[in-house]
Chain A
Amino acid sequence: MKSFTKVAMTALIGLGVLSTNVYADAAKGQKIYQKKLKEVCGKTGAVFAASHTQMEWETAKDEGKLVEMMEAECPAGKDFFESKKFETKYKSHLYDFVHDFASDSGNIPSC
């Protein structure tokens, strides 16, 4: 049995090391919104995300107009949206969040 445990652990560690797929995280995006934007924008993340459909968020992202669209929904967040940190660190997570909870996403925020 010891050898089975060893094999399982080795396999898992191998999986972990090989797992390098970069992915955006909607939960992280939700936290970023709560931490950086909720007070500034004066609306909840659910309302912010539901201001557009999934296709509208997607199109804005593809056309490089995500910042523009987010600013239109939250003008007070201009400095944050146009910061270098937003571009490099927060944008993908926040996009994943707004896309997940867009008006036609069908996802239902928990109580």
Chain B
Amino acid sequence: MTKKITLLSSLASLAVLSTSLTAAESDLQAQIDALNAKIEKMEKVNSYQNKQISKVNQQSANDNIKWTIDYRAAYDNLNYKYLDDAKKGDGTDDTANAGETYTNPALLTSRLWLGMAASPFEGLTFRGQLAVYGYWGAENTNETSDKSWRGSSRPHDWTVRLREGNFVYKFGNDWAVPMAASVGRRPASMGFLANHRDGDARPNSPLAHITNMEVDAAMVMFDFAEALLPGSYLKVVYGRAHDPVAVGSTTPYIDPELADSYDGPVDFLVLPMSIYNDGQSNLMAQYAMIFNSKGTRISDGKIKSAAGTTHMGALSYQLDGLNEDIDFLDSSTLFASAAATMTDPDSGYEMLGSTESETGYSFWAGFLFPDMMTDGGRFGVEYNWGSKYWTPMTWAEDTVIGSKIATRGSAYEGYWNIPIEGKNLSAQLRYTYIDYDYRANTTCYWDDPADKNLDSAQDIRLYVRYQY
């Protein structure tokens, strides 16, 4: 009897326990279901929020102007030494400057570029840039010689200028040769190979060896990367470098002197092309033709006349990363470039002091390597050489003592590009020495290179630069 009671009691306990367990399981399941539902809801919310964040990103950047800042404060120590037998541009003795040395121990400048970009939809972009480049203590007056193709690329006053303003429309992405068209103002400076000395990772498209200036032009680009060689393309650029409009006259924007071609419009055709670019080896070429280049009219000695045609060509090669297995060499860059310019004066005119067609040649080489002290800092050494008639389009500043790329003679340069805080804050220390064999290249084809003026020029530069 007692055994029966015990058994019944145990069975009852088990039944109670089983009921409790079932209830606990059911409760647990309910909690799991509730949690799952919550997670599902949270995932939906999260997904919605992600989409919203992307939309906000697009709205704040893609659908509006995206601004960038590039501010640079520079110190330059300049020095010019004139030849003992220096000549003026007209070939007469330069009695005032011959044998003299001039120094500016501290030229202080500030340069601000405000960049803007917008892309309302894929394939259509706008780019613009406002520039101020002044020297400390500058007077805010415009000089008549302040040409648009160098106005914001040399230290001047504190006027805000348009350095870039163009749209690019890409089309035919499914074609064998996709294309792009663009019209507007382009900062055709800091081009291929010049970007290294200025600490810029990406060059603009023109070859700096023959083009360093701001231009107003229209462009069509043919992308041959898929059809021909990796990275290959051709750009056809047509623009205007000078217009002799007679502003303020009774016939505004019409030049009454145009008929006798004393001061005709100067147009140019430029064909920058990338022949091969696999990310390590980069071979680029460029041909340029300038119509109505300036020179001298022999009959009355008038300079700045529309005197003839100029042809230019360059072939530039860059090897980025000399050996992948050695870090030092992998971070080193070697480049070399050869270029030529040819002036072809019309009958009755002189260019570069000659009635004949004259050809100038130039060579440019450089080597950049890690400084081994900073992360990303690099030392660079460059050498330029130019012959008697070498005259490229390098009117924007490459050094404040004058274009070292356009040197007729030899130019030596060493620099140290230092990243202080990544790409946002950097500095540079640079020394440039120019040894002239012929006249300093400062005018558009009306000076005679044989009328030598400077013996040498040098520039010590130190700058700090903020980019964001």
Contact = CB atoms under 8 A, between A and B. Distances in A.
B427 A16 contact: yes
B101 interface: no
A17 B374 CA distance: 6
B231 A12 contact: no
Interface stretch (A2-10, A63-71, A72-80): A2-10
A32 interface: yes
The secondary structure that dominates the A interface is: helix
A38 interface: yes
Given A9-B462, A105-B61, A108-B125, A19 B420 contact: yes
A12 B423 contact: no
Interface residues of A, number: 38
Nearest to A59: B50
A16 B462 contact: no
A38 B427 contact: no
Interface in B359-380: 371, 373-377
Contacts of A1: 77, 105-106
Nearest to B169: A111
A12 B119 CA distance: 39
B431 to A, nearest CB: 11
A86 to B, nearest CB: 13
Contact of B202 (A8, A23, A106, A110): A110
Contact of B201 (A8, A27, A34, A111): A27
A35 B321 CA distance: 10
B255 interface: no
Contact of B279 (A5, A26, A34): A34
Interface stretch (B51-59, B148-156, B296-304): B51-59
Contact of B53 (A28, A55, A103, A105): A55
A34 B278 contact: yes
A91 to B, nearest CB: 16
Contact of A25 (B57, B374, B376): B376
Interface band, chain B: 35 or more
B66 interface: yes
Contact of A23 (B77, B118, B320, B376): B376
Nearest to B105: A1
Given A34-B279, A104-B58, A104-B62, A19 B170 contact: no
B277 interface: yes
B57 A105 contact: yes
Contacts of B278: 34-35, 39
Contact of B423 (A5, A15, A23, A107): A23
A51 interface: no
Interface string B201-241: 11001000000000000000100000000110000000000
Contacts of A8: 75, 462
Contacts of A17: 373-374
Interface string B321-334: 10000000000000
B277 A34 contact: yes
A4 B77 CA distance: 11
A19 B374 CA distance: 6
A21 B118 CA distance: 32
B206 to A, nearest CB: 13
B146 to A, nearest CB: 28
A108 B117 CA distance: 7
Contacts of B180: 111
Given A35-B280, A111-B170, A27 B202 contact: yes
Nearest to A50: B122
Given A8-B462, A16-B427, A32 B279 contact: yes
Given A5-B77, A108-B117, A53 B168 contact: no
Given A12-B462, A39-B230, A108-B127, 8 more contacts: A4-B105, A16-B420, A31-B279, A35-B279, A105-B61, A108-B125, A111-B168, A111-B182
Interface of B: 50, 53-54, 57-58, 60-62, 66, 75, 77, 105-106, 117-119, 125, 127, 168, 170, 180, 182, 201-202, 205, 221, 230-231, 277-280, 320-321, 371, 373-377, 416, 418-423, 427, 429, 460, 462
> A-B pairs with the 7 shortest C-beta distances?
A106-B61, A35-B279, A27-B201, A34-B279, A23-B422, A1-B105, A104-B57
